[in-house]
Structure 1
Amino acid sequence: MDWLERTAKLRQWTRSGTRAPHKPLLLLYALGRFQEDADSRLRYSSIEQDLQRLLTEYGPPNRTTPAYPFHHLVSDGMWEVRTDHGHGSPGSGVGDLRTTGATGRLAPELRAALRREPQLLERIARLLLDLHFPPSLHGELCEAVGLDLEPAQAEQLSAVRRQRDRRMREAVLTAYEYRCAFCGYDGRIGTVPVGLEAAHVHWWAFGGPDDVANGLCLCSLHHKLFDKGVLGVDDGHRVLVSQRFVGHSPAARRHVVALSGRPLIGPQPGARPVAAEHLAWHTSQVFHGDPRP
């Protein structure tokens, strides 16, 4: 059985490019718990809050429930559920999962494969990260689910992976003249820029192209906040700051809150600005809540 192919083909709810990382987040969480204790079962009532935090922080802006992936991941052959009444999930209702003592864990065949081939766990985890989340979030997401992975290798993890265009970073940074489009940061060591990154507006993992019209040159801080939905860009190319962001320190006000309504810095004349369709995707799929006035 090709577990990488099965991982890549998880059935997910989709509509007009809507993000639905519910199953990938549950799988990453389960892999982290498998590393800790390969034989443990995960009682829904005990891990519900953990899963809800993951969905709130790394899922789509609309509110959702961890009961959905806990029940539906069974259909992908990678997860099993048992209740006080025996094998099988009682349904996707939160109350049903709680009152029946529902527990879940990786499917027996997958657990056996992970024991036979220790590297498989890391390959599955990296495939989930690559297919569903931007690179800026990989490290902290692994920490959030308790996954301990070796440094990433350049090898191809699966034939289903798209090839990134390595020229995009240089093209985007050049278009924005090596300055953060939000704050203007332009640090260098000698001639080498430091702390500047090419951010995909429409995430590459969700079909966003490696193209200047889908990119922003951002400093490391603002890239992370952009991918977490704290910051966005409106159709007039002005910075959005989520009302959900809370920061009382002078640094938080200066580096985040004060950006609200500020026009983007760049791109330089002749370079393509971010396309409207990519801005619309980010606003609907990543940006959290309403923007500050």
Structure 2
Amino acid sequence: MVTDWLERTAALRQWARGGARAPHKPLLLLYALGRFQRDDQEELRYSAVEEDLKGLLAEYGPPHRTTPAYPFHHLVGDGVWEVRTDRGPGSPGTGVRELRATGAAGRLVPELRAALRREPSLLGRITRLLLDQHFPPSLHAELCEAVGLEPQPESEPTETERYSPARGQRRDRRMRELVLTAYEYQCAFCGYDGRIGAVPVGLEAAHVRWWAYDGPDDVDNGLCLCSLHHKLFDKGVLGVGEGHRVLVSQRFVGHSPAARAQVTALAGRPLTGPQPGIRPIAAPHRAWHLTQVFHGTPRPHG
């Protein structure tokens, strides 16, 4: 049944401690779905896809370096993935050398492949669930493109909540308006405040601690950001440091005047907002973003 596969997807077992991000299995599963969409018979030989998986982990995983060998082996235990080697069925373990030497290859289990063929909408629903559970909305479209999947329309508000009972909370659909009002419809990083008539354009409410990782829909977990700085914040290029000043990662490279003006020149700049009487970003949420999303060390500033 469709619900069985959605429940199994929502219940992927992951290493977790203190809110640490571990999206290794979701990234592998998204990659496998993209490959299935192109060729539903293909096996993914580890040695052939290792670099692709490394790239996904570097781009969308936590700041510390990790290996794709871990999910390639351990996803088997979740009942959605199988591995075989030159010796027969079964994974040789989590070692990169073993996976390469034995010709390890993985793919979705036969029952899931059959369900995806039988019910075309299932692929999109699993994709949507993985995106909602593990990544912020600002990254969904580009992540789909990175793994070769069609961008997914937003699901019904209750879809992810229904299959993720452990979240224990429902989304507060008022958050965007509350956050934008708190920051007086200005980007907290650059001050952008564009409108068409009375309607703000290019302004978004960003979660500091992602909702997928227990970040609440509260104003003190939000920032009003323009579309550019929202994307850079969720990618770990930008962060918020002590004194609520903007941090810029030393890993960011941009030589154009626009890159300097829009990114590197922000280093050390105090946030614009929130307005008096409204709580700024709570320290635990800011600390989570710095350890789980922000990449590298901050650029020095004067």
> Per-residue deviation at 1:151?
2.8
Please report how far the alpha carbon of residue 80 of structure 1 lies from its aligned counterpart in structure 2 after TM superposition: 0.3
Q: Which of 264, 276, 289 in structure 2 is aligned with 1:269?
A: 276
CA distance in 2, matches of 1:176, 1:54: 33
TM-score computed with the length of structure 2 as normaliser: 0.95
Q: Retained in 1: the 8 A contact 2:141–2:152? A: no
For residue 82 of structure 2, the aligned residue among 69, 80, 95 is 80
Instruction: Give the structure 2 partner of residue 280 of structure 1.
Output: 287
Among candidates 69, 87, 94, match of residue 92 of structure 1:
94
Q: Is the 8 A contact 1:25 1:54 kept in 2?
A: yes
Is the CA contact 1:235–1:279 (under 8 Å) kept in the aligned structure 2?
no
Residue identity (%): 77
Report the AA paired with residue 246 of structure 2. Answer: V
- Looking at structure 1, the residues matched to 152 and 27 of structure 2 have their Cα atoms a distance apart, in angstroms, of 19
Runs of 4+ that moved beyond 6 A:
none
User: Is contact 2:6–2:126 with CA below 8 Å preserved after alignment?
Assistant: yes
The aligned amino acid for 1:132 is H
Distance 2:31 2:155 in 1: 22
Separation in 2, partners of 1:278, 1:216: 11
CA RMSD of aligned residues (A): 1.0
Letter in 2 for 1:79: W
Residue matched to 1:199 = 206
Structure 2 distance, partners of 1:44, 1:286, is 27
Q: Which ranges in structure 1 are unaligned for 5 or more consecutive residues?
A: none
Which residue does 2:235 correspond to in 1? 228
5+ residue gaps, structure 2: none
| Matched residue, 1:41 | 43
Whole-Å separation in 2 of the counterparts to 1:167 and 1:270: 19
Counterpart of 1:192 in structure 2: which amino acid? V
Partner of 2:296: 289
Asked if 2 retains the 8 angstrom alpha-carbon contact of 1:130 and 1:205, the reply is yes
Question: Where in structure 2 are the equivalents of 1:234-245 lying within 5 Å?
Answer: 234-245=241-252
Pairwise CA distance, 1:152: 2.7
Post-superposition offset of 1:275: 0.3
Name the amino acid aligned to 2:220.
A
Of 15, 18, 25, the match for 1:23: 25
Match of 1:53 in 2: 55
Q: C-alpha separation between the residues in 2 aligned to 1:106 and 1:37?
A: 12
Per the alignment, residue 108 of structure 1 pairs with 110
TM-score, length of structure 1 as denominator length:
0.98
2:252 paired with 1:250: no
Change over 3 Å in CA distance of 1:138–1:150 after alignment to 2: closer
Contact 2:82 2:109 in 1 (8 A): yes
| 1:163 paired to 2:170 | yes
In the TM superposition, 1:132-151 aligns within 5 A as 132-151=134-153
Q: Report what 2:226 is aligned to.
A: 219
Aligned residue for 2:244, secondary structure, equals coil
Gap change, CA 1:243 and 1:189, over 3 Å in 2:
same
Please report how far the alpha carbon of residue 65 of structure 1 lies from its aligned counterpart in structure 2 after TM superposition.
Answer: 0.3
Q: Letter of the aligned partner of 1:74 in structure 2?
A: V
Aligned positions, number: 293
Query: CA, structure 1 residues 196+61, in 2 after alignment: closer, same or farther (shift >3 Å)?
Result: same
Alignment partners' CA distance in 2, 1:172 and 1:199:
9
SS at match of 2:163: coil
CA change 1:150–1:222 in 2 (3 A) is closer
1:1-58 CA-partner distances (Å, limit 9, x unpaired) = 5011110110000111100000000000000000000000001011000000000000
CA-CA distance at 1:157 after TM superposition: 2.6
Shift of 1:149: 4.0
Report if aligned partners of 1:34, 1:40 keep a CA contact under 8 Å in 2.
yes
Displacement, 1:153? 4.0
What is residue 120 of structure 1 aligned with on the other side?
Answer: 122
